[in-house]
Amino acid sequence: MANQKKRNSGTVSNSPLPLAIVAVFGLAAGLTLMVADHTPRMRSGIENSVPITEEVLPSETTTEVTATTTADTSLTTTATTETTEAQPLPPGSVTGLTLSFYDAALKVGDDPVMPLVKMTPDDATDKSEKWESTDPKVATVDDIGKITAVGSGNCVIRVTSVNNPAVFAEVKVSVVNPNEKVTAKTKQADGNGTAEAETTTTAANTVASAAATREDMEVIDGVTYIQGVMIVNKTYALPQSYNPNGLTAETKAAFAELQAAASADGLSIYSVSDFRSYEAQDTLYNNYVARDGKEAADTYSARPGHSEHQTGLTIDCNYAGDAFHDTPEAKWLENNAWKYGFIIRFPKGKEDKTGYKYESWHIRYVGKEMAKKIYDSGLCLEEYFGIESKYAE
Ligand SMILES: [Zn+2]
C-alpha cells in the first residue's frame, strides 16, 4: 500500500494543449484543477531546477486532480500554465476524498469511532468506499468505516474510493489497552545527568507520562517543549488543534530584523512559505503520498502534525529547493540567521538525525539565546537536545 500511485492524475505532461482548453475540459469532466496562484517568484532565475523537497512540488508538476486543494497548498505549488492533464478521468469519477478526522487515540473497550467521508465531486456516480486496517490486532474497521480498538499499538485505517483507487485517505490510530501490563523504559534524571530505569506500568499510564522522560521536557496541551523550545519532528507531533493562524508575532519581528540586516548586506531574503495548518499539511502530504507512495513522500514531506510549519515559527526563504543551497542568500542565512534567533533546521550532513534532507531555506525561530547556543555547538536541534526524529511506524 505504501507504493500506491495516482494513475490518472498528478502526472507530468508536456502536452501542448493551452490551459484554457484543458480547464474547460477539466470542468466539464467534473475535475478540480489546481493551477491558481501561479508563483513566478519561485521560478525566476532558477531554471531547470526540479527539486523534491519538504516544501514544494517539483516545479513542472501541477494540475492536481484531487479535490482536496486549499489556499495553503497553492502557496507551495509552483503551477505552470503550460502543464496539462495527460489522461483526464471519465466524467463522474471520484477525484477527491476528505475525512472528518485523521487521527484517533483509542482505548480498548471504547465505543467505535467513525470518520465521516466526503467524496468529490458531489455528483460523482460511484461513491462506494473500501476500508482496511494495516493491523487488525490494533484496530479493526468495518465496511462503513467503524473503527474498533483491539489491542495496544499503532496502525493506519485507510479508506479508498472504489471508483478511483488513486483517491484515498488515512486515519492514524493509536490504541492503548488499560488492562495490559507493559514494560517501559523511561529515563529518570539523577544528580549527574540521566540514568535508564526499567519500570513496569500499565499502558495507559505509559501514554499519560510518556513525555515526562527528562527533567527539561514538558508537555503542555499535547505540545512538547525542551528547555522551552517547541519540538516538532518525526517523533514529536503537534495536536491537530494547535493553530497559531500564522507566524507568531515574535517570529515576524525577528524575521523583519533578519531581513533588514540582509538588506544592509545587499541581499534580499523573503518568505515563500511559512505557516501551514494541520489541515493544509494533511492535504499536501496526502497528495504526495498519492503521487509518489508513502515511503517516498516520507523522505521529503512531513506527515500532518509533524511539520514545523504548523508551529508558526518556521519560514522557507526565497526558494524552497536545492538550487538555493549555493546562493549568497543561503550562505548569509547559514552564517547570520542565529543572530536574529533562527537556526537552519535541517543542516547538511544531519539527515539521519533530523530525518530530512538538507534544506538551506528552512529556518526555525528558537530565540536569540538558544539560536546562538545551537549555532555555536555545530549540532542540529535533535543532536543538541539528544532526541530522535523517527516515525513510530
Ligand atoms: Zn520548510
Q: How far is the CA of 365 from the centre of ligand 1 (A)?
A: 12
Cα 181 from Cα 86, distance rounded (Å): 55
Cα 159 from Cα 144, distance rounded (Å): 10
Residue 253 has pLDDT above 90, yes or no: yes
Compute the average pLDDT of residues 71-88.
42
> Measuring CA to CA, which residue among 311, 298, 289, 285 is closest to residue 356?
298
pLDDT per position as a tens digit, 152-192: 877 888 888 888 888 888 888 877 776 654 333 333 333 33
Compute the average pLDDT of residues 101-116.
79
Cα 375 from Cα 198, distance rounded (Å): 35
Q: How far is the CA of 381 from the centre of ligand 1 (A)?
A: 15
Contacts of 301 (CB under 8 A, 6+ apart): 54, 284, 285, 288
pLDDT score at 251: 98
Q: How far is the CA of 309 from the centre of ligand 1 (A)?
A: 6
According to DSSP, the residues that pair with 131 across neighbouring strands are: 159
Residue whose entry in the numeric block shows the C-alpha cell 543551497: 325
Judged by average pLDDT, the poorest of 125-139, 189-203, 283-297 is 189-203
Sign of the alpha-carbon dihedral angle for 286, 73, 348, 380:
negative
Residue whose entry in the numeric block shows the C-alpha cell 501542448: 16
Q: How far is the CA of 240 from the centre of ligand 1 (A)?
A: 18
Residue whose entry in the numeric block shows the C-alpha cell 531547470: 48
Q: Which helix (H) or strand (E) holds 260?
A: helix 249-264
Q: How far is the CA of 129 from the centre of ligand 1 (A)?
A: 34
Position 86 confidence tier, pLDDT thresholds 50, 70, 90: low
Measured in degrees and rounded to the nearest 5, phi and psi for residue 172 equal -85, 120
pLDDT per position as a tens digit, 317-326: 999 999 999 9
Q: How far is the CA of 362 from the centre of ligand 1 (A)?
A: 4
- Across the chain, mean pLDDT equals 75
Q: How far is the CA of 103 from the centre of ligand 1 (A)?
A: 23
Position 277 confidence tier, pLDDT thresholds 50, 70, 90: very high
Cα 162 from Cα 67, distance rounded (Å): 16
Position 143 confidence tier, pLDDT thresholds 50, 70, 90: confident
pLDDT per position as a tens digit, 36-72: 333 333 333 333 333 334 544 333 333 333 333 333 4
pLDDT score at 309: 97
pLDDT score at 80: 35
Residue 79 has pLDDT above 80, yes or no: no
Per-position b or e across 158-186, b if 16+ CB within 10 A of its CB? bbbbebbebbbbbbbbbbbbeeeeeebee
According to DSSP, the residues that pair with 273 across neighbouring strands are: 316
Residue type for position 356: Y
Cα 99 from Cα 116, distance rounded (Å): 6
pLDDT score at 5: 38
Contacts of 332 (CB under 8 A, 6+ apart): 262, 265, 267, 269
> Measuring CA to CA, which residue among 193, 148, 195, 215 is closest to residue 175?
148
pTM of the full structure: 0.51
